[in-house]
A and B are shown apart, each in its own frame.
Chain A
Amino acid sequence: MRITLSIRRFDPERDHAPHEEAFRLDVAWRSTTVLDALIRIRQEIDSTLAFRHSCRSAICGSCSMIINDRHTLACKTLVGHEIERHGPTIRVEPMRNLPPLKDLTVRMEPFWDKARLVTPWLESADGAGTIPDAVLTKETRSHLHNVDACIMCGACVSSCSSLAVSPGFLGPAALAKAYRFLADPRDRARTRRLEALTQADGVWDCTRCNFCVEVCPKDVQPMEAIVRIRRAAITDGMTDTIGAGHITSFVDVVRHEGRLNEGRLPLQMLWRHPAALLAQLPLAVKMLVRGKAPLPWHPPLPSIRAIRGLFGRWRRASSWTN
């Protein structure tokens, strides 16, 4: 079958801006991957086409790119699958949120730099000593399994909403890695790690958009790892950030009223941050005028006893603190 690959090309030595170039080729479309097609284009049509690849088996993580808007691995994407869903032209672009290099390649340095920033190795309590030679239990291993499956392909980073507007953000891949070491019982640097991860550009910058969960070719669910780091920080009493205050205040408001109250949440969240609270004032007035500002204290739902029962039960349960 004759297919078209519309590839976003960019040569920093010649081009001012990227442009699309269409390549046509005949393929056995049911068994051909997008990576196979790219390799054939380079061999048969244009030897200057730049892209990374190695294992062809979704293990090395080299060939991540954007195929028909999806951040994914070219070696894991079947041409036939794309054609059935999106027609005979397959659009291929380089990853985003990383500096473009040439054609479908991007600079991975910021990616690795951020991974390094989260201390991706086991640490002793003083940061210098030896690590206890303990064997991981089956349960712990299953707990770490998801994040250990990460092949560092960068698809999550490419899709990350916060990174797109805040390039300093550690991002989903590095934070998933951070969680992997935080959750390892052999590690002795929990507090140090949590303090670093809750700084600016850390876990509280995640907007929970779920793109990283959606695109990960290995089901690592980086956002779930970020949520677990946040939970650990709150459990350990690191609740001074507005981000942590959001969670604790939300819990408090729903425990009292059974529902969220947007009139009360910002007050409770921000009373220790007067500048941020003051910045909300003009908006609060406008909302009030339009009947959009709920009163800060509502009577609770009639069934509030049953609801509070659940809050009490799970607070007492051990899982509350992890």
Chain B
Amino acid sequence: MRYAFFPGCVAQGACPELYQSTMVVARHFGIELVELRQASCCGAGVLKEASPELALSLNARTFGMAQRLGLPLLTICGTCQGVMCSARRELEDAPRRDAMNASIDEPEARYQGGLEIKHLLWAMIEDLGVDRLKAAVVRPLSGLQVAPFYGCYILRPSGDLDHDDPFHPESLETVITALGATPIDYEGRIKCCGFPILLEKAEIAARLGGENLVDAKTHGADCLVTPCPLCHMSLDMYQRRAEQAMGRSIGLPILHFPQLVGLALGYSPKELGLGRHLVPVKKVLQKIGVGG
């Protein structure tokens, strides 16, 4: 398994533990990640609000770099995945693609169309395979109740992503089960974490995050796992604010997707950067018998 690796801004910024745990899991399975160090931000759905062409050309440039390596693109961020899948759909239109390519100075970064773009979550299921994943588990997460939280961009618009059913997704549940843990069923798993308006509409964002956290908690979750670091920021860093908005304590640990995998593979909390979270993960570790 070999990929052109697009870590995204957040894994190289506010969530270094996502980058770290991804590397641990990739190394474990011998997955080779060729990092696109010169790639820009995907735009996160924000740049296109200023200029759709700017956002599209930046992504065309990134796709071109992956294509030059002859590798599929791997993301570890639900938002990057969604934004890039929508950009890929737009770039399948040849005149549009030509116009974007014409704006790119580097001839080696022009995009020819047809790139495969995969989130690590999908790669684990489709390329590695659930059986290999199961066989690698040395610390089954038995008894751990995990709330899957997809986030918006990895599900919608489903026509661009072409993976999970947007109202009944299964990818996270498949992996959670393979690791020996129990996925809990709750409405919030496909809903919005509120991240995009955290700074401008703090009350709305806090309630959006809060409702989902309380939903997960009341359904018995010991922790929540997400394939999107923006959801992680909203639900972990801003959980205090969500508690204030909901008028109750929540205290739900939020794990990045590769952190949960890493725990089942036997890695230590330190190797997975679990100490960096704002909501302590101690209760999760106790439940699976790991010394903090």
Contact = CB atoms under 8 A, between A and B. Distances in A.
Interface of A: 68-70, 85-86, 161-162, 164-166, 169, 204-211, 213-214, 227, 230-231, 234, 241-243, 245-248, 250-251, 254, 258-263, 266, 269-270, 276, 279-280, 283, 286-287, 290-294, 301-303, 305-307, 309-311, 313-315, 317, 319-320
A307 B153 CA distance: 24
A85 to B, nearest CB: 7
A306 B57 CA distance: 11
A283 B237 CA distance: 7
B106 interface: yes
B15 A165 contact: no
Contacts of B197: 162, 204-207, 243
Interface in B40-58: 40-41, 43-54, 57-58
B142 interface: no
A210 B156 contact: yes
The contact size tier of chain B is 35 or more
B14 A317 contact: no
Contact of B204 (A207, A251, A302, A320): A207
Nearest to B237: A283
Contacts of A293: 14
Contact of A309 (B50, B105, B201): B105
Contact of A69 (B49, B168, B275, B276): B168
A231 B168 CA distance: 33
Nearest to B275: A290
11 contacts: A165-B204, A166-B204, A169-B204, A209-B156, A234-B49, A259-B12, A262-B14, A303-B106, A306-B109, A310-B61, A315-B54
B51 A314 contact: yes
A307 B47 contact: no
B157 interface: yes
B200 A243 contact: yes
Contact of A259 (B9, B104, B106, B152): B9
A254 B47 CA distance: 9
